[in-house]
Structure 1
Amino acid sequence: MADSLPNDRPSGPAGTRGLVAPELLAGLDLLPKFEFTPELLAYIRSGAALTGLAPPPLSPAQQAVACAERFAPGPSGAPDVRVLVYTPPSAATARPVYMHVHGGGFILGGPEQNDGLNRTTAADLDCVVVSVAYRLAPETTWPGPVEDCYAALKWLHANAGELGVDRTRIAIGGESAGGGHAAALAIVARDRGEVPICLQLLDSPMLDDRTASASDPHPYCGEFVWTPASNRFGWQALLGVEPGGPEVPAGAAPARLEDFAGLPPAFVVVGALDLFLEEDMEYARRLMRAGVPTELHVIPGAFHGFGVAGEDAPQVQAMLRLRRDALARAFKLS
């Protein structure tokens, strides 16, 4: 219990800067510090709060990947779903495909924010990448965003020939909230039985609304970038009810799933200082317990969003290599 901790041990996620890997500290200092409110959400969406975080210029290999905007038929009664389709320059056909779901706490972002990494994935693995612009909360609550992702997945599967992709090699994944939506999408795809998934690639996924209301929070996780307060804000925006309670709709939080059997193979990576550390480890444990092939990696000294430190940081290099290798295996490239 938190109240039984020694006096020299913090009782909440604070004072953990000394545990951050030295190579990641410069990246940490680039990130703004705030707690979400409706007013701040509007300000951040305006772009004014993130002007100092411009992505690096694209390399020649990234520029060689074509990017096309397309629209998939939306869920019943909902708008069409905008997607970005990345296609590498080679003449290959029947490529594997990775459907990417962007992060942003359920409340922010769009597929453009992962443009560089999606181009790199397409070029490095000679695969198509489809990145989904799902509707954001709180304007659209659950299950709207996941239904958008499923509509994009069905469109991808139905148009495999036109897109030049192999229907038997479809992977899905995302970062943070995108990882949470990807996990939920894997559950929906299993239950509906229409589109086979060869891998769910979950990078620091946001899986459990109860983390926001834990009575015994991890004393060393969640100080940086995505805090318990921000987590409660994001989950409440998605759910439309207070997170952590019995009113949460069935199926809205992947961690509340009872039956993990039959889900697609999973890759899970998370930083050791990330607020999502324990929920992600527990999710991986339950997948393994259900006989689902699962790969779990914890990156020492890493906070949520540590990729901002850049590819020169060894922790970022390790994460990208692990991610790339998992996709290559799922695509049967190695």
Structure 2
Amino acid sequence: MNISNKMIHPEIRTIGKIIRFIIPYFKTSTFKLSRHIIGVLKKKSCKDMCYEQIYIPRKERRVTEDLLRICVYSPFERKKKATGILWIHGGGYGLGVPEQDEAFIRRFVLTYNCVVVSPDYCLSTIAPYPAALEDCYTALMWLKENAALYDICPNQLMVGGDSAGGGLTAALTIYARDKREVAIAFQMPLYPMLDDRMITKSSQNNDAPVWNTKSNENAWKLYLGSLYGTEDISPYAAPARLTDFSNLPPAVTYVGDLEPFYDETVNYMEQLKAAGVSAKYKVFTGCYHAFDIMAGKSTPAKEAVEFLMKNFEYAQNHYFKEQPFIV
């Protein structure tokens, strides 16, 4: 799927050209270098909302650090019955920090009375699957267990994320459904990274800006480690491999039609719908991966944000899931 510049939406075309020139695709070395560069985003203050860095014990010892850093965002004036959101950053599973997604987080906290917990999960350049998933689950359980401390409605815990964070969102909802220790009321897997097999048309020979087939292949190799290329891969690692979509939380997403994840995103949402799960998505013509971040002032980006927040507001008013009682 060769992506010419003419195919790209005119408002995001120039930025796409620049990105494609600077980073044609992500190599293993690029992930490692970018991880250190993006790491400078870690900070200790946030001007328009409360920002805490909390270190919690890791239940599994996949990495050398015993503690997992989570970032907790909340309004300065906290209200009762807030919605609790676990927000998972993107980065191909191999780079990124929670602070890079503060644009997403800020909308939830400042406009919709939310408390957002974002885990600094283990990256694939440090340890492969299941380290990242286990970190996200640890953070989700912390959110459940500390809901009262932050005036969060315990029956309205939600999960969201972009790109690899979207993939982890989908994986986490499946994992939580099966473990039955915590209930998720709603999920927002934005243009998620779901399928290691790269068998869809949009994922093959795709040379779009930001993220393409070469980047995708290298990222999956890092994330899956020795499992890559085998059939012994769980839906917890690659959610597109899921066969039972029942009893998953309602979902919303959006995706560009030029990016590698286009087909797998649409397929996943349609399978949710076929299983009776409320699932809404919007496709943006002429848009590449993470267009909403790379060209935030463009018309497609603004429409994507509006679509997401409109559906989130509906979910906040209608979707609740009682937490299981665990002896």
> Is the contact between residue 241 and residue 248 of structure 1 (CA under 8 Å) also seen in structure 2?
no
Which residue is 1:10 aligned to?
A: none
> Is the contact between residue 200 and residue 267 of structure 1 (CA under 8 Å) also seen in structure 2?
yes
Which residue is 1:9 aligned to?
A: none
- Secondary structure of the structure 2 residue equivalent to 1:331: helix
Aligned residue-pair number: 311
- For 1:195 and 1:139, locate their aligned partners in 2 and report how far apart those are by CA, in whole Å: 27
Match of 1:41 among 2, 10, 31: 31
Instruction: In structure 2, list runs of 5 or more residues that go unmatched.
Output: 320-327
- Secondary structure of the structure 2 residue equivalent to 1:104: coil
- For 1:217 and 1:296, locate their aligned partners in 2 and report how far apart those are by CA, in whole Å: 17
Q: Please, what is the CA RMSD of the aligned residues?
A: 2.5
Question: Which range moves more in the overlay, 190-199 or 214-223?
Answer: 214-223
Which residue is 2:269 aligned to?
A: 284
How much has 1:244 moved relative to structure 2? 4.6
How much has 1:195 moved relative to structure 2? 1.2
- For 1:323 and 1:208, locate their aligned partners in 2 and report how far apart those are by CA, in whole Å: 23
- Secondary structure of the structure 2 residue equivalent to 1:231: helix
- Trace 1:204-215 onto structure 2 (pairs within 5 A): 204-211=191-198, 214=199
Match of 2:240 among 229, 244, 255: 255
| 1:18 and 2:18 correspond | no
Match of 1:99 among 61, 68, 86: 86
Question: Which range moves more in the overlay, 80-89 or 29-38?
Answer: 29-38
Counterpart residue type for residue 173 of structure 1: G
Which residue is 2:218 aligned to?
A: 233
Counterpart residue type for residue 14 of structure 1: N
Q: How big is each residue's C-alpha offset from its partner over 1:11-34, in whole Å with a ceiling of 9 and x where there is no partner? A: xx3242111111112332442323
What's the TM-score, normalizing by structure 1? 0.86
Match of 1:74 among 49, 52, 58: 58
Q: How big is each residue's C-alpha offset from its partner over 1:283-329, in whole Å with a ceiling of 9 and x where there is no partner? A: 01111111111001111111001123444311011111111112211
> Is the contact between residue 60 and residue 134 of structure 2 (CA under 8 Å) also seen in structure 1?
no
C-alpha change, 1:65 and 1:81, in structure 2 (3 Å) is: same
Question: Which range moves more in the overlay, 142-151 or 33-42?
Answer: 33-42
Q: How big is each residue's C-alpha offset from its partner over 1:175-207, in whole Å with a ceiling of 9 and x where there is no partner? A: 000000110000011011111111110111000
Counterpart residue type for residue 94 of structure 1: K
C-alpha change, 1:225 and 1:140, in structure 2 (3 Å) is: same
How much has 1:242 moved relative to structure 2? 6.0
Question: Which range moves more in the overlay, 13-22 or 33-42?
Answer: 33-42
How much has 1:243 moved relative to structure 2? 3.7
C-alpha change, 1:252 and 1:219, in structure 2 (3 Å) is: closer
- Secondary structure of the structure 2 residue equivalent to 1:209: coil
> Is the contact between residue 184 and residue 249 of structure 2 (CA under 8 Å) also seen in structure 1?
yes
